């Protein structure tokens, strides 16, 4: 079950050429919230943590609260490299939500299998709390997404950051590792899940077994088969006893990637689905209920 550090290094790539983005550095956080890209810092347990925040044009903070997507990067990686790969900012500009890209310590998050020993759950709680209080985020429409190590971290946050996330969207990541061996390691409040994995991923069996375990523990019942997403994509849906939903996409010819991303070390351009589009559609349909 345990993915080794060496395997993750090979998957996520260490090429210095792949790390460059060419994008302009974000401005420091303004004294008052404003549109654009900002670099925020938070003190969490005596450690300074960094976050790249994108605020769409037209946002003033004076109107009704807006959704927030917290996007968690792969290992080794950074929020900026994930932002450049998944193009969630364009989706935010179109639909009017904020996107936060936290940086893990030493390139990773302390998720379900690796990486590090930081209290990243406390980090995400502090970040979302600040954005709710200072940046006019709707507490009932806070979502997490991530790939690989960041996807695993999304599952951990869904469980341990109680009441923070209404839904998570996990790409090439899963619910596995030592923490998940306890039957009670599930959310105390409903959190809907979108899973997107590739059947050619070396960790596909782990991801598949983990999602089955999640559905069993939350007493999820299969729903009528949804329309096919595209050729070469298997899709399923389940409704859980707590009212949450689990929707899964399996891309037949995909490995450890973000389908539809045009560039980046885990990009899969030309994939039959675009993960960024599916994620936002799922999030928009799953605010916190009850």
| DSSP secondary structure string for all residues of 106-160 | TTB---SS-S----HHHHHHHHHHHHHHHS-EEEEEEEEEEETHHHHHHHHHHHH
The mean pLDDT of the chain is 90
Burial of 284 (0-12, 13-18, 19+ CB in 10 A): middle
Residue partners of 40: CB distance under 8 A and separation at least 6? 29, 50, 51, 52, 53, 100, 127, 130
Q: What is the pLDDT of residues 200-233, one digit of tens each?
A: 999 999 999 999 999 999 999 999 988 888 999 9
Please state the separation of Cα 229 from the chain's center in Å: 21
Q: Kindly report the length of the chain.
A: 290
Rounded Cα distance, 113 and 173, in Å: 10
Topology of the domain covering 23-284? Rossmann fold (3.40.50)
Give the pLDDT score at 227. 86
- The pTM assigned to this predicted structure is 0.89
Which tokens belong to 240?
């859980």
Number of H helices, E strands in the chain: 8, 13
Beta bridge partners of 47: 44
Reported as a pLDDT band with limits 50, 70 and 90, residue 48 is very high
The phi and psi torsions of 28 (rounded to 5 degrees) equal -60, 160
Q: What is the pLDDT of residues 127-140, one digit of tens each?
A: 999 999 999 999 99
| % pLDDT > 70, the chain | 89
Average pLDDT over residues 64-69: 96
Rounded Cα distance, 78 and 86, in Å: 13
Q: What is the pLDDT of residues 137-184, one digit of tens each?
A: 999 999 999 999 999 999 999 999 999 999 999 999 999 999 999 999
Which tokens belong to 215?
């559905």
Q: Say which range, 38-47, 191-200, 220-229, 233-242, has the weakest mean pLDDT.
A: 220-229
Please compute Rg for the chain using Cα positions: 18
Which tokens belong to 102?
């936290």
Reported as a pLDDT band with limits 50, 70 and 90, residue 258 is very high
Reported as a pLDDT band with limits 50, 70 and 90, residue 289 is confident
Give the pLDDT score at 28. 55
């Amino acid at each position: 079950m345990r993915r080794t550090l060496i395997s993750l290094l090979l998957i996520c790539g260490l090429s210095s050429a792949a790390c460059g983005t060419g994008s302009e550095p974000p401005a420091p956080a303004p004294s008052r919230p404003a549109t654009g890209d900002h670099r925020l810092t938070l003190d969490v347990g005596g450690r300074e943590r960094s976050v790249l925040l994108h605020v769409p044009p037209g946002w003033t903070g004076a109107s009704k609260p807006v959704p927030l997507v917290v996007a968690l990067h792969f290992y080794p990686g950074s929020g900026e490299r994930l932002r450049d790969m998944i193009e969630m900012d364009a989706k935010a500009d179109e639909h009017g939500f904020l996107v936060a890209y936290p940086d893990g310590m030493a390139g990773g998050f302390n998720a379900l299998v690796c990486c590090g020993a930081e209290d990243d759950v406390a980090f995400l709680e502090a970040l979302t709390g600040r954005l709710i209080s200072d940046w006019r985020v709707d507490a009932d429409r806070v979502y997490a997404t991530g790939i690989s190590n960041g996807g695993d971290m999304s599952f951990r946050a869904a469980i341990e950051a109680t009441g923070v996330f209404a839904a998570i969207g996990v790409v090439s990541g899963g619910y596995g590792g030592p923490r998940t061996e306890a039957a009670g390691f599930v959310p105390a409040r409903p959190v809907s899940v979108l899973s997107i994995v590739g059947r050619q991923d070396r960790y596909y069996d782990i991801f598949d077994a983990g999602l089955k375990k999640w559905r069993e523990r939350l007493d999820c019942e299969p729903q009528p088969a949804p329309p096919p997403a595209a050729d070469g994509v298997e899709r399923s849906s389940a409704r859980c006893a707590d009212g949450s939903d689990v929707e899964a996409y399996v891309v037949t010819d995909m490995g450890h990637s973000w389908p539809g991303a045009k560039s980046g070390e885990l990009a899969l351009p030309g994939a039959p689905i675009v993960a960024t589009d599916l994620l936002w559609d799922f999030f928009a349909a799953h605010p916190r209920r009850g």
